[in-house]
Amino acid sequence: MASTALNFDVGDYVVYPKHGVGRVVELQSQEIAGMQLELYVLRFEKEKMTLRVPTNKAESVGMRKLSSDKTMKEALETLDGKPKVKRTMWSRRAQEYEAKINSGDLVSIAEVTRDLFRADDQPEQSYSERQIFEAASSRLARELAAMEKTDEKTALDKILVILNKAAAIHNAGKNAA
């Protein structure tokens, strides 16, 4: 794939795998170590962070445009599924969840959100489970919000409605058994 395949304009929303949804606020040209570099300047409002990414490295770091509607639909359908919780040590699962979140892959992030969701009538989560759930659901909500031109809270509410409906279905099966 050619390095010119990724082309972002000022004002575009982009997804940076480790930080989630940001916005290209500027294209800069800087001299660093005697080399002239073209940089995307990304702004992440929630973290109040600015990141400069060399345009020729954008693809290799996994920076991408917002997901397609098809991918978002697939991610939201993933939330409907039955949670899959492996019976491995929490520390190993936590590492896997973090890796999925930082991959930037929307469906993987939705899987983490689904697997760590707890309805009000379910046992409480540990602090670290809740932290990872909030990181995943927030990442998913920010991309949904950017795509639907709404705010993160509205998008998160939409995600929680799907999760609560799915939990009611999957937990009804458990209680009947």
Q: What is the pTM of this model?
A: 0.86
Q: Work out the end-to-end distance of the chain between its first and last CA atoms, rounded to an integer number of angstroms.
A: 52
What is the bridge-based pairing of β-strands 64-65 and 49-54? unpaired
How many beta carbons lie within 10 A of that of residue 113, not counting itself? 30
Domain ranges in the chain are 3-65, 69-176
- What is the distance between the alpha carbons of residues 53 and 32, in angstroms, rounded to a whole number? 13
CATH number of 69-176: 1.20.140.10, 1.20.58.1290, 1.10.3720.10, 3.40.50.2000?
Answer: 1.20.58.1290
Confidence band for 5, pLDDT divided at 50, 70 and 90? very low
State the average pLDDT for the chain. 89
Residue 119 in this model has a pLDDT that exceeds 80: yes
Distance, in Å, from the CA atom of 40 to the CA atom of 112, rounded to the nearest integer, reads 30
- Mean pLDDT is highest, among 43-52, 78-87, 108-117, for 108-117
Question: In this predicted model, what pLDDT tens digit does every residue of 153-170 receive, in sequence order?
Answer: 999 999 999 999 998 888
Supply 35's token pair.
Answer: 């080399």
At 2 the pLDDT is 37
Q: Does domain 3-65 have CATH number 2.40.10.170?
A: yes
Structure tokens at 136: 């995943």
